[in-house]
Structure 1
Amino acid sequence: MSFGENLRFLRTESGMTQEQFAEKLEVTRQSVSKWESDNGFPELEKILQISRMFGCDLDTLLQGSVCEKKRTDTEGYDRHMNRRTRMISVGVTLCILGVAGAAMLDALVSTRFDLAGLALFALVIPGVLILVLSGIWHGQYQQEHPHIEPFYTPEVLAAARRRFPIFIVCGTGLLLSALLVWIAADYLFGELADGAGLALVAIGVGLLVYGALDHAKYQVEESYNQAVIEEEKAQSDPRDILAGRLCGIIMMAATIIFLLYLFLGNGNGRSDVGRVAAAVYATGGLLCGIVSVWLKRHEP
């Protein structure tokens, strides 16, 4: 596609007339008409302004095909975000299921924590690796595609809005079921209550995470583009950098405390592995939130 064809495509896609576009560039409508018919060429300053206005790189605008690039970008965005949603949901679910499995084995098997620890690491390690890989791939994608034009049709957006409450209701229902399991532990589940409840929590949280990420995927401007801008700001803000480091230290400390409890501090009787894990990591998350808020309110 020529520059004029690319310009016409971008203008019509944005819903602007030649008059409206000319007004934004502070040129005449006749100039825009000449550019789009390839009978004239704008000044470099105007080309840069057009590039910024439509979020299009200069190479594509001047020599490539904007239409083809947009089709490739939109297909790639949808595919990437679907993969990210699945990976994060599975990673979070595996991490919680690891604790659930450890709690169940600890209640059933009397050989201290060998099998419980094996179940924990067999699920938590893959879960963490999946989450790390998802974060790396998403960061790379953001660097390669710092801006995505919203492209989902009203019909697709409406279907996503109808689908979102289903995930929320199902996930919340499983979390409430876990509470019932823990409340009725002495009557129905006995020592398996911790593990069974955590298994329900794992699936419920997985559904909630999946629903939230799937819903956010369709908010291209608010969720993706704004997140890229905020990420760029965070990289230059020393408070955000410090908050990230402190939160990493807090969560590593929480993991060390939990592992010490799991292997050294639980005696030979029935364990409360699930509840201890929930308490330790919930406390770690709360401390991370407090640190982040405090740093936002105070200059380092």
Structure 2
Amino acid sequence: MSLGTNIQFYRKQKNMTQEDLAEFMNVSRQTVSKWESDTAFPETDKLITLSDYFGCTLDELIKGSAEENFTEDAAGYDKEMNSFTSAICLGTAIVLAGVTTLLFTVVLGLDETIAAAIFMLFVTVGTAIFIVSGIRHDNYVKENPNIKPFYSVEQIKAFRNKFPAVIAGGTVLVLFGVIALMVMQSFVDKVVPDVMTEESFDALCAAVLLLCVTVAAPMFIYGGMQYAKYDIEEYNKENNPDKPFADRLMSAISGGIMLAATIVLFIMGFCFNNWELCWIGYPIGGVLIGIVNCIFGAVKK
């Protein structure tokens, strides 16, 4: 295909008219028309701008075949990954909201049985979302273990630019919760025991912090899962039937750690009635998973 044909193809893929592209390139519509009919050749700086905008290399733009190189998302990968990300974010938010609600029931002095029932309702809904979305995603991966890359350089760059803001937003929320906790603790002598018991005040402080974490955690998950979504090469490697034993073992250990954290939550809550601290197993589990990943990463190298 010629340069002009490639420019026309990429322009139409972006649903742009010749006038739209001309305005973007700061040239006349007639100039774009001449480019596409191969009666004029863009200057070097214009070619660089076009290749960056269309998400292709200069060689692909000038000498390649844009139509042959263009790959559609035939497997519905983007839709599946967005749906799976949303489900995991929602399930996490619901479970954390359950723990937060449990802490607030302590503040309000509700009956322990009712509080536990409310908490289990949140956990049940969150778990159901995890199970359904997990099974569906697993089926999708089995049916589509290998995806041909289709994201343009422009799409990847756009998310990479948004990613820091998402992570920074979650971090700020967690820090805000820590600050709120510190401020509240400074009033402990004025609140306890005149306004509420020490146990209720501690639960309120923990609830405020966990409320911030409840909002921040889905942001971290969204950022991480969406970041991984664009790394199709890693997706293909991860789901390769011949995946190395070390990788499979690492995944199994990580899953076991989080299962253990869930067991600890129920034991501390129902057996020892320590609902205020039972959620601590999850951040500890996250740290342990990080250590496991570092160890296996070092071994593989």
In the superposition, the TM-score normalised over structure 2's length comes to: 0.62
Q: CA RMSD in A?
A: 3.6
1:170 partner letter: G
Distance 1:284 1:215, change over 3 A: closer
Deviation at 1:202, TM superposition (A): 0.9
Preserved CA contact (<8 Å) 1:100 1:195: yes
Q: 1:261 aligns with which of 249, 258, 268?
A: 268
Query: What's the counterpart of residue 71 of structure 1?
Result: 72
Q: Report Cα offsets for 1:76-109 as digits up to 9, x if no partner.
A: 2222222122112112212211211111112322
Q: Which region of structure 1 is more displaced relative to structure 2, 176-185 or 161-170?
A: 161-170
Aligned residues: 229
Deviation at 1:260, TM superposition (A): 1.9
Aligned positions of 1:82-231 closer than 5 A: 82-112=82-112, 114-145=113-144, 146-152=146-152, 154=154, 156-186=155-185, 187=187, 190=201, 191-217=203-229, 219=230, 223-231=231-239
Q: Report Cα offsets for 1:57-86 as digits up to 9, x if no partner.
A: xxxxxxxxx899x43517x22222221221
2:175 partner letter: L
Deviation at 1:203, TM superposition (A): 0.5
Gaps of at least 5 residues in structure 1 are 1-8, 22-65
Deviation at 1:247, TM superposition (A): 3.8
**Matches of 2:78 and 2:252 in 1, distance apart?**
31
Preserved CA contact (<8 Å) 1:243 1:292: yes
2:118 partner letter: A
**Matches of 1:243 and 1:142 in 2, distance apart?**
19
Query: What's the counterpart of residue 277 of structure 1?
Result: 279
**Matches of 1:161 and 1:253 in 2, distance apart?**
34
Deviation at 1:282, TM superposition (A): 2.6
2:234 match: secondary structure: helix
Distance 1:133 1:260, change over 3 A: same
2:165 partner letter: I
Percent identical among aligned pairs is 25
**Matches of 2:243 and 2:156 in 1, distance apart?**
34
**Matches of 1:124 and 1:79 in 2, distance apart?**
26
Preserved CA contact (<8 Å) 1:102 1:116: yes
Aligned positions of 1:2-21 closer than 5 A: none
1:71 match: secondary structure: coil
Query: What's the counterpart of residue 14 of structure 2?
Result: none
Distance 1:152 1:116, change over 3 A: farther
Q: Which has the higher helix share?
A: 1
Gaps of at least 5 residues in structure 2 are 1-8, 10-55, 192-200
Query: What's the counterpart of residue 81 of structure 1?
Result: 81
Q: Report Cα offsets for 1:236-286 as digits up to 9, x if no partner.
A: 5334444444444433333222212212313xxxx6x344412x2233333
In the superposition, the TM-score normalised over structure 1's length comes to: 0.62
**Matches of 2:181 and 2:277 in 1, distance apart?**
10
**Matches of 1:180 and 1:228 in 2, distance apart?**
42
Deviation at 1:198, TM superposition (A): 0.7
Q: Report Cα offsets for 1:95-135 as digits up to 9, x if no partner.
A: 211211111112322523x2332232222222233233333
2:149 match: secondary structure: coil
Distance 1:79 1:118, change over 3 A: same
Deviation at 1:289, TM superposition (A): 4.2
Q: Report Cα offsets for 1:4-41 as digits up to 9, x if no partner.
A: xxxxx9xxx99989xx99xxxxxxxxxxxxxxxxxxxx
Preserved CA contact (<8 Å) 2:264 2:278: no
1:80 match: secondary structure: helix
**Matches of 2:296 and 2:220 in 1, distance apart?**
29
2:171 partner letter: T
**Matches of 1:123 and 1:205 in 2, distance apart?**
16
Distance 1:85 1:287, change over 3 A: closer
Distance 1:258 1:173, change over 3 A: same
Query: What's the counterpart of residue 40 of structure 1?
Result: none
